[in-house]
Amino acid sequence: MKLNTLPYYRYIDLLKRYRIFLLFIILVVVAICAVYVKNGFVYSDKSLWLKGSKEYSKLLALKHPSYNVEKVVIDISKDGWSEKAVSKLKVLQQQLMLKDDVVSLNTLFKQTSIFKNALSEDQSMIEITSLFDADDSVTYTSVLKNPQNFKNFVDGNQITFYIVSDGDISLSEFNCSYPYERSKVQGSTHTKDLLLFLVLFIILASSFTIAFKSVLPTLLGVLFIATTTLLTVALFQLISPVGVTHVSIVLLAVTVSVMDFVYIYYKWHVLQRSVSQKIILYRVFVKTVTPIFWTTFVSVVGIGSLVFVDSHILQSIGLNVLLSSLVGFVLSFTFLFVMLSFFRQKNPQIITKDSSKYFADKEAHYKKQWLNLFLAFSALVFVYGIFMYFYKPMNVVTDTSATKIQIALTQKGMNNDTLLELQNIQNLIQSKFENVDSFESAYTEIEKLYKQEHPDKKFNLADVDADAYSFMFDLYDITKDLMTRDHLTLSIYLKDTDRKTEILKYLRDEEILIQDNQSLLQIAKADSINTLFVVVFFVLFLIMAIIYYMTRTVQFMWIALIVNAIPLSWFFAAIMMLDIPLSTEMLVAMIITGALSSDATMHFIYYYYRNRLKPRSSEKVLENSFLYIGTPLGMGNIMLILTFISLIFVPDTTVSNIGIYSSMLTILSLFMDLFVLPVLFLNQIKSNVSIKGYYHGK
């Protein structure tokens, strides 16, 4: 057979012929991208979750602002509860009030007292004063006398300030002489970017050198991964409507390109001895293009489908995977092949030859009861995860200190109808959720005023003249604490965050505007869980469909499902058991695993498919599969595990969390791919002679 009549040969021939020109074009594109790419990555996922969330969009549609409600707990142990402490806290309150970004402050100083100022029988007036206007001694004694009235703000030596703001407030610029606790202020992102890339470079470069005992893969690998990542980020910034580049895009692009590089380079590396330089690239292409195409297909169609979801965070992740996979695929079969065409490897070393033999032997003589036990245990874990999913809602609380929910009515104005709505909401929430501590609203203030005005009468909203109380609120300057842009607000103080998501969902069903970012964030995350499950099931279905299409064997389709579903169900069960809150980091980790695990299955099955008619012993089949598939798989995964583990040392919670979750999931996935997948195949082939066209062993 003439070489140039073989499929793909002409393509490889063209690639080699125009390699200088191609390399030049690619490098020009890379240079343009390098100039185009905007500096700095976003580490916080808050804006991504919020943008495009249904509740946030509702606020925007009504031109309603959303606020950050930050809980700051100040420790006054140094002075204890004293007039001195009151005076210092008041200074802080004063400074915060002057800050432009601060919309309102819910603190003990904002607590109102309603009293009848009566100088004589014919000189009297109902007045509302806040502790801020009172003397320090009055504040000090008020709290001592009625600690119950201030329990949301004063708890022993712990003073709580709720800061409602338009932006991030830095407390360091204020005169707060006490230690305080609040959500971490992000450090310089440029330092983090630099550190992140340094860690990625060192780990990947050293891994390539050690794994292949050569400097060549380090040079080619780093060039290839850097190019893929740069192009992916540039395309993302060009296409994405989100406008922010989360750091996870870099990590996803690196992950996809590492695996593509390792599979192709390894194949090229091992074929150096047996195949002539003339056809080596063609052989590498033929052996790798099909599985890499299908894994790209799974990522693009399966995970990429997230771009159609009405949530910016999920759209971003979908677009990340879609672009990473496409760019990785295109550059693998152009740029990488062009680079490989310039080199040859003398005395290529296969460092896993002995270990492959060892594992192949062990796995070929596996004990069936161990396999069954493992599968039964995994099934139990899966059932536990499903049970927990329906029995206990997934934790989406990222900030357990966010015990305040701020909502606003959709209807404008303060009148008896809107006040009645507030009353109904308060009563319903109070009766449905026992962890609600107290409320703060125009309704509660009116109730207090009414009791002061008519101590002998029972409060009845129907008797209330809303205009009169609205005037009182304006007169004593408390309207801004009870209304936002002419919409009545309600602050709900919770004892804990246990049932916060349920409360938020209830509020949403009642068409109430949720105003604070923490709550908006929480409900956006809660909404995304079902979508993610659908995507995970869709990806698993796609893998099964492709495996069936490739092999026409139903049994292999089930094996693919088991191998890919087990790490995810273990991980999910662990999340449910440990009550770890859902985060972008976790999603990225799950997506990385989804993309990676399909890789292994495709490559393994493709190998079997191509070698299905060759009679051999079960050990030989396994040994070869370990050598040709298991080695690059293990290499790539170990490199990624090392990279992810090293990310733990980057001083940023998002990056280190991606590191922790991804390394855990990759370890699980690798274990499944190396030790369970081959055994399951072997089990099927040996025990089920109905699988046609395969050698069933002795």
Residues that bind another protein (CB under 8 A): 117, 119, 121-126, 465, 467-468, 471-472, 474-477
Diameter of the chain by CA atoms? 116
Is the Cβ of residue 103 or residue 658 nearer to another protein in the bound state?
A: 103
Q: How far is the CB of 643 from another protein (least distance, A)?
A: 58
Q: Which two tokens stand for residue 321?
A: 């995977």
Say if CB 582 and CB 394 are below 8 A apart. Answer: yes
Is the Cβ of residue 467 or residue 579 nearer to another protein in the bound state?
A: 467
SS3 content of the chain, % helix, strand, coil (to 5): 65, 10, 25
Is the Cβ of residue 124 or residue 690 nearer to another protein in the bound state?
A: 124
Q: How far is the CB of 469 from another protein (least distance, A)?
A: 9
Is the Cβ of residue 124 or residue 688 nearer to another protein in the bound state?
A: 124
Q: How far is the CB of 235 from another protein (least distance, A)?
A: 51
Q: How far is the CB of 139 from another protein (least distance, A)?
A: 21
Q: How far is the CB of 451 from another protein (least distance, A)?
A: 15
Backbone angles phi, psi at 289, to 5 degrees: -65, -40
Is the Cβ of residue 119 or residue 462 nearer to another protein in the bound state?
A: 119
Can you state the angle between helices 500-509 and 517-551, rounded to 10 degrees?
Answer: 90
CA distance 110 to 275: 81
Is the Cβ of residue 117 or residue 277 nearer to another protein in the bound state?
A: 117
Q: How far is the CB of 443 from another protein (least distance, A)?
A: 18
Is the Cβ of residue 131 or residue 557 nearer to another protein in the bound state?
A: 131
Q: How far is the CB of 122 from another protein (least distance, A)?
A: 5
Task: Using alpha carbons, select from 193, 191, 272, 266 the residue that is nearest to residue 229.
Answer: 193
Query: How many of the other CB atoms lie within 10 Å of CB of 175?
Result: 10
Whether the CA torsion 601, 607, 611, 615 is positive or negative: it is negative
Is the Cβ of residue 122 or residue 173 nearer to another protein in the bound state?
A: 122
Is the Cβ of residue 6 or residue 125 nearer to another protein in the bound state?
A: 125
CA distance 560 to 547: 7
Q: How far is the CB of 440 from another protein (least distance, A)?
A: 21
Q: How far is the CB of 473 from another protein (least distance, A)?
A: 11
CA distance 480 to 415: 16
Task: Using alpha carbons, select from 46, 115, 684 the residue that is nearest to residue 402.
Answer: 46
Is the Cβ of residue 152 or residue 489 nearer to another protein in the bound state?
A: 489
Q: Which two tokens stand for residue 87?
A: 């005076």
Is the Cβ of residue 236 or residue 476 nearer to another protein in the bound state?
A: 476
Say if CB 533 and CB 540 are below 8 A apart. Answer: no
Task: Using alpha carbons, select from 111, 107, 112, 113 the residue that is nearest to residue 176.
Answer: 107
DSSP states of 607-665: HHHHTTT----HHHHHHHHIIIIIHHHHHHHHHHHHHHHHHTTSS-HHHHHHHHHHHHH
Q: How far is the CB of 452 from another protein (least distance, A)?
A: 12
Q: How far is CA 295 from CA 64, 122, 319, 337, 446, in A?
A: 44, 86, 16, 19, 63
DSSP 8-state symbol, 352 = T
Say if CB 195 and CB 646 are below 8 A apart. Answer: no
Q: Which two tokens stand for residue 289?
A: 């293009």
Q: How far is the CB of 447 from another protein (least distance, A)?
A: 16
